[in-house]
Amino acid sequence: MKGRIILYGWLLSWILMIGGLGTMEWAMETGEPVFILGLFMFMVFVIFCLLVIKYQKEADKAADEFDHWFERTFGNTR
C-alpha cells in the first residue's frame, strides 16, 4: 500500500511541479508575490522523488502491479 501511495503521488506531483515552475516564472516576470507558492508546489515533487528513492523496492512492486493490471485490462485489444 505504501508503494502505491508513493508511486501515484509521484505521478500526480508532476502536475504540481509544472504548475510550480510556471508560477515561479510568472512571479519573476510580473513581480507578484506568488513565488513561495510556486516553490511549495515544486517541493511536493521533490519530496515524492525522495520518497521513491528511499522506498524504491515498494515503488517498483507497485509499478509492476500496475503494469500487470494494465496488460490484463488493455493487453488483448485488437
Give the domain range for residue 57. 2-72
Closest to 7 in 3D by CA, of 57, 41, 42: 57
- The predicted pLDDT at position 64 comes to 95
- The predicted pLDDT at position 1 comes to 83
Domain annotation covers residue 32: yes
Number of compact structural domains in the chain? 1
- The predicted pLDDT at position 77 comes to 61
Domain annotation covers residue 24: yes
Domain annotation covers residue 78: no
- The predicted pLDDT at position 75 comes to 83
Those residues of the chain that have pLDDT short of 70 are: 77-78
On the CB side of 29, CA atoms within 13 Å amount to 6
Domain annotation covers residue 77: no
- The predicted pLDDT at position 29 comes to 95
